[in-house]
Structure 1
Amino acid sequence: MSWFPERQQHSWLQRTCGSILKAGPIPKHVGIIMDGNRRFASKNSMDRAEGHLRGFDKLADTLDWCLNLGITEVTVYAFSIENFKRSKDEVSCLMELARQKFERLMQEKDMLQKHGVCIRVLGDIKLLPLDIQQNIAEAVNFTKNNKRAILNVCFAYTARDDMCHAMRELASGVSQGLIRESDISEDLLQKCMYTSSCKQLDLLIRTSGEVRLSDFLLWESAFSCLAFVKVLWPEFSVWHLYAAILHYQRNHQALQNARQSSKLEQDQLTRESDYRSVMEELDKQADEKDKLQERISVQDRVQQYATLRQARINTFLNQLEAERTNMLENMVSKRPVSCAS
């Protein structure tokens, strides 16, 4: 006998509907703009801090629902760079909430390891208070090898800042001689972004009824399904998630076609760039051009160039990854022992 028979019925219905959904394509990576915490607080006559806390609790529920469906990666918009323009009290409240939650995560290390949860924080974390930077670095480093489920937290993030950051990385790579200007492509730009470690974004959900992306995953959502839900984030339910997934399934084939078309176009552009680079090199060696063409065909030379290009790119990306890893490790090493315990 159940204390809550109506909840038992609800749970059975939820499982049944989930099983039906899983008969179709399920998104592997879902992005969420968790909008409406402040309006929820106002609507329910509570202070904003309580509204943000309710929003965090809703995230925990949503991650469980996603994992049960087989959605193994979720990216959430926790704090935009633009949010620094809010009132001092609200910014302080959000920072304190982040501080508490990341500290709580580190108190539950065994659970994170048991469930294989990987935490990533995407954004310019140097804009955050030092102790929060160190909390973030510890959580990211501790969980980096976990594979079962991934939570990406966009904190001190905007998509435009991410793209600008990636372009600065590319410019630095060219100036250091690690890559050439001709090596730069859409794919390489994406690999320089904070989101480079994420899977392809399948579904993006925004709550509160607003129909805009607010500078969130602009690049990544180019070939994703968008679902705008007319409910405040703390009121988001499993049924809203199911509806968004059903919307994704209805559009799945069109998204796949668009992605495939884009990939073919980008591959063609890369081949054309390699060919132009080879011909430019041959033009600079005009006196030896005929001898070179006799000894090796242009097609083979283009293939050799493509191999060298990929080697340059790999070296550049490996150095970039090492720099990011060292930054996080240095943050952890500078953390006072009393705070880390």
Structure 2
Amino acid sequence: MKTVSERLDKNNIPKHIAIIMDGNGRWAAKHGKPRIMGHENGVESVRSVVEGAGEIGVKHLTLYAFSTENWDRPKKEVDALMGLLVHAIEAETDELNKNNVRLSVIGNVAIMPEEVRHKLNGCIDALKNNSGLNLVLALSYSGQWDIVNAVKHLVADVQQNKITQETINNELFQNYLSTAKMPAPELLIRTSGEYRISNFLLWQIAYSELHFTNKLWPDFRKQDLFEAIIDYQNRERRFGKTSEQLTS
């Protein structure tokens, strides 16, 4: 019997995969542990998925790490998450570098604590010359924020006569989004059994394939990533066309 990695069609690997990493709190409750322990165990899932994505040639992996709405969580949990993020960046930089991984960040990072921004910038700089997987952390991010932020910059360019109103179309607008330098995700995965987008990449996932799994994020591993990709590979992506149009 073939292993899950052997069942993958290596000629049909998504260039960009996005993941809503959900279920850390429920994992902690299930194991009788504080919520932060769920987030800590979720770091091992990140490590496994990054490794798997790099192995099979995924170009961009975007992880929804902290949303703009997460700032409304109890201060104790937010502070613990920020501390965990700093620790994870420090602990993983060498391993990411060894695996030829680059790091990018999207979101309203300017409002994050200075220490977090400093560590992030240091990690991004240390990995900038790598040519493998682009690991994208969505931090203090929401799809609505991304669109509004893009509109602000677009309006400013119109006012400064850098562009005209008549030239604005979908392709131009995409250049103002935080994901301008990468393709839209072909596959969006959400863990924990929830069926929501949760304000993530709202413009970019217009035609993404959605994969939902009941696994809580701390239990998710690269084999689960491969299963999601196999599910993706078994679908017909029509982009509004009919099956007959695709085959002809």
Look up the SS of the partner of 1:197 in the other structure. Answer: coil
* Residue 23 (structure 1) shift: 5.0
Cα deviation code 1:143-162 (max 9, x no counterpart): 23322111000000000000
* Residue 229 (structure 1) shift: 0.6
Match runs of 1:259-338 below 5 Å: none
Q: 1:114 to 1:243 in 2, by over 3 A?
A: closer
Q: 1:64 to 1:206 in 2, by over 3 A?
A: same
Pick the structure with greater CA Rg: 1
Measured in 2, the distance between the counterparts of 1:19 and 1:255 equals 28
* Residue 125 (structure 1) shift: 0.5
Look up the SS of the partner of 1:192 in the other structure. Answer: coil
- What residue identity is the alignment partner of 1:206? R
Look up the SS of the partner of 1:154 in the other structure. Answer: strand
Measured in 1, the distance between the counterparts of 2:128 and 2:167 equals 29
* Residue 24 (structure 1) shift: 5.5
Root-mean-square deviation (CA, aligned residues, Å) is 2.0
* Residue 230 (structure 1) shift: 1.1
Q: Which residue of 1 aligns with 2:21?
A: 34
Q: Which residue of 1 aligns with 2:121?
A: 137
Scaled by the length of structure 2, the TM-score of the pair is 0.91
Q: Which residue of 1 aligns with 2:75?
A: 88
Look up the SS of the partner of 1:223 in the other structure. Answer: coil
* Residue 226 (structure 1) shift: 0.2
Q: 1:114 to 1:239 in 2, by over 3 A?
A: closer
Cα deviation code 1:112-169 (max 9, x no counterpart): 4443211001001011011211211222233233221110000000000000000000
Greater alpha carbon shift after TM alignment, 36-45 vs 234-243: 234-243
- Paired residues, number: 243
Higher RCO (CA < 8 A, seq sep 6+): 2
Q: 1:29 to 1:131 in 2, by over 3 A?
A: same
Cα deviation code 1:219-277 (max 9, x no counterpart): 1111111001111111124443233112211224425959xx9xxxxxxxxxxxxxxxx
Residue 118 of structure 1 is aligned with which of 99, 102, 112?
A: 102
Residue 218 of structure 1 is aligned with which of 182, 202, 227?
A: 202
Q: Which residue of 2 aligns with 1:4?
A: none
Measured in 1, the distance between the counterparts of 2:111 and 2:73 equals 15
Scaled by the length of structure 1, the TM-score of the pair is 0.67
Q: Which residue of 2 aligns with 1:205?
A: 189
Measured in 2, the distance between the counterparts of 1:220 and 1:233 equals 23
Unaligned runs of 5+ in 1: 1-12, 262-341
Unaligned runs of 5+ in 2: none
